[in-house]
Amino acid sequence: MTLIEIMIVVIIVAIAATGITYSLGAITRANLRSAAMTVSAASRFAYGRAIAQNTTVRLHFDFETGQMSFEEAHGRMVLARVDDAIRQEVEEGDGDATAVDPWAAAESRLEDTLNPSFGASPFSAIPGRRYAARPLASGVTILKLIVPHDPDPIEEGTGDIYYWPGGQTEHAIVQVADDSDRVYSVEIHPLTGRGRVYDFAYEPDEMLDDGTGRQRSEVDDR
């Protein structure tokens, strides 16, 4: 082969490699956007179902498996404060102590005053295959969840976004990432449940929960 032929071959290989790299990048970005849009659509569904069924709904995220699912509870729920001594004891034992049914909590305390408990979790999976736990998109992981009821971003274990019957949810941020460390963020609006997608790791200085503005470190009872 002459030098010119070798150069032509090298150029063709370089162009092909560039095209493959660009195509893979486009696919991963498409998967990220698909995952972000899935979270946004799920938020709108949870918001609407909470109003229509007069129930408390939550989006449940499992960081280990990268899956999202819907859960529902009937009756009035409250969120236990982060500094609540009983919540801290329950969570040390791997229990679910964030969302509490006040009646169940009262009954549990009366039955066993020596062992702090909020009772069994009031939430259960919504029936139907379409609501079961599933990955957001191929090759996409859940990176971070920011919600007002937890003072620090959730980056492992499980996390939830809550939707109440009165037509309000939490101001939340869900960040998803791919193998190339690209990050997309979904911001959930507290008054509409709608999601806004950012193509970067968006993290606001304040978490707006009731339209007046609230720092992430502040937690109230509902």
Mean pLDDT estimate for the chain: 74
pLDDT tens digits, residue range 76-86?
666 655 555 44
**CB-facing half-sphere around the CA of 149: CA atoms within 13 A:** 19
> Does the reported pTM lie above 0.85?
no
Model confidence at 215: pLDDT above 70 = no
Which is more confidently placed, 81 or 103?
81
pLDDT digits (tens, 9 = 90+) for 179-210: 888 999 999 999 999 999 999 999 887 765 54
Which pLDDT does position 21 carry in this prediction? 47
pLDDT for residue 220 is more than 50:
no
Q: Are 152 and 144 in contact (CB under 8 A)?
A: no
In this structure, the strands spanning 183-188 and 99-100 are unpaired
160 Cβ contact list (under 8 Å, min separation 6): 58, 59, 60, 61, 71, 98, 99, 147
Read off the pLDDT of residues 119-164 as tens digits, 9 standing for 90 and up.
456 788 888 888 889 898 888 999 999 998 887 899 999 999 999 8
- In terms of pLDDT, which residue wins out, 44 or 75? 44
Tokens of 186: 């979904």
Q: Kindly report the backbone phi and psi dihedral angles of residue 25, in degrees, each rounded to the nearest multiple of 5, phi listed first.
A: -65, -40
| All domains of the chain in start order, with CATH | 1-76+124-222 (3.55.40.10), 78-121 (no CATH)
Phi and psi based region of residue 11 (left: phi greater than 0; alpha: psi -120 to 50; beta: remaining): alpha
**Closest alpha carbon to 164 in 101, 78, 37, 36:** 78
Q: In the numeric block, which tokens belong to residue 84? A: 């609540």
Instruction: Please check the confidence at residue 178 and state whether its pLDDT lies above 60.
Output: yes
